[in-house]
Amino acid sequence: DYTHYLGLTTTPAQLIDELDLVLCAGGMNASLKAQIAQAVGKVIWSSNPSGQALERLNMALWLIINSPDYSVQK
């Protein structure tokens, strides 16, 4: 259930902070978090806000899961 995370897509930095805790145990590099939040914030669908939220969440998850901070255990 992604409902909680979909609600955070209007504030990408908060979304990335939450996903960092869940997926990377809070170990994500600050510059990577900022880059992902910036990329997620650029996703805009004016005609379909719920589609925008889902697309932002999908992008955030994809970028985090494919990052070294997720893949490498520290």
Query: Residue 63 above 70 pLDDT?
Result: yes
- pLDDT at site 74: 64
Percent of residues, the chain, with pLDDT higher than 90 = 81
The residue that leads in pLDDT, 74 or 56, is 56
Q: What is the 3-state secondary structure (H, E, C) of 9-58?
A: CCCHHHHHHHHHHHHHCCCCCHHHHHHHHHHHHCCCCCCCHHHHHHHHHH
Q: What is the pLDDT of residues 22-54, one digit of tens each?
A: 999 999 999 999 999 999 999 988 788 889 999
26 vs 73, residue with greater confidence: 26
